[in-house]
Amino acid sequence: MVSPASPFQTVAIAAHPEIPQAHEEAGQIADFLTERGFDAFYGFLYDEDLHARVTAGKVDLMIALGGDGTMLRAGHLCAPLDIPIFGINMGKFGFLMEFRHDEWKTAIEKLLAGDSWLENRMLLCTEQWRRDELMGRWEVLNEVVVSRGEIVRPVYLDASVDGRFLTTYVADGLIAATSTGSTAYALAAGGPILPPELRNILLVPVAPHLSIDRAIVLAEGSSVSITVHTDHQAVISIDGQTPIHLEDGDRVEARASDYTVQFVRIQDPGYFYRNLTPHMYNNPATKKVP
């Protein structure tokens, strides 16, 4: 048995439960690592057993098999534990991933040889307040969205930055995104693309009506507070998860988290700009089947 030379000794391999072949491929990766002297185990991303073993604090690396959503969920799990994440794309897009699933052997061999570096990505600590009561707290990798519900009417959103009133948005919603989230919903809503290493909050209104219609990049270290004024439905959505109901007067606050998501990278640090055009124009989800 070969003694591991990598700083990663115990590896968790998490597969997306709804992607065909993901679980089988996770098993192949586990066998590949075990044969090389590593302690490797695998399961679906939402398995209680996998979560228990990861949160026990004895994992040095997580390999995530799926798409960008898989990386988001892995980030939520691993960031508080300082566990780096290596992504292998088995989804449609994979903006956060470096390698396709048919390249995993080459990628992992480079990783085990020490040919890698860690990319730190900011999380948002997001809180929902109802008067003086804290209703919920989340760590957010992409974005928090405060928006209308199913009723197609805009909501009024008072936005303050560092405790100072900014403006009232009359809109379908307001996105508070990280640099990671700048290539997700914020991009679709017309926001700019931010380099991944930036620790700034990006504010992007969704379908604003007679109010500020431009995205705003806040200074590093700034926080934002969004107060909802509505007589109909309003919700908060965290990284695309199930929306949570908001009441009139509820306040959503977002600031840089104390936690950081660590992505393991093989490509050189210039990969982000080099990959922008292929990602923007070669999205498999938009290709028509002949």
Residue 4 DSSP class: P
Other beta carbons within 10 Å of 93: 18
47 counts as catalytic: no
Residue 68 neighbours by CB under 8 Å, 6+ apart: 91, 93, 94, 95, 96, 97, 184
Is 203:218 a contact under the CB 8 Å cutoff? yes
- Burial level of 229, CB count in 10 A (0-12/13-18/19+)? middle
> CA distances (Å), 172 to each of 47, 207, 221, 235, in order?
35, 6, 27, 11
> CA distances (Å), 133 to each of 216, 235, 248, in order?
29, 17, 14
Structure-token pair, residue 60? 């040095």
Is 62:233 a contact under the CB 8 Å cutoff? no
Q: Which of 47, 49, 68, 172 is catalytic?
A: 68
Looking at the annotation, which residues are catalytic?
A: 68
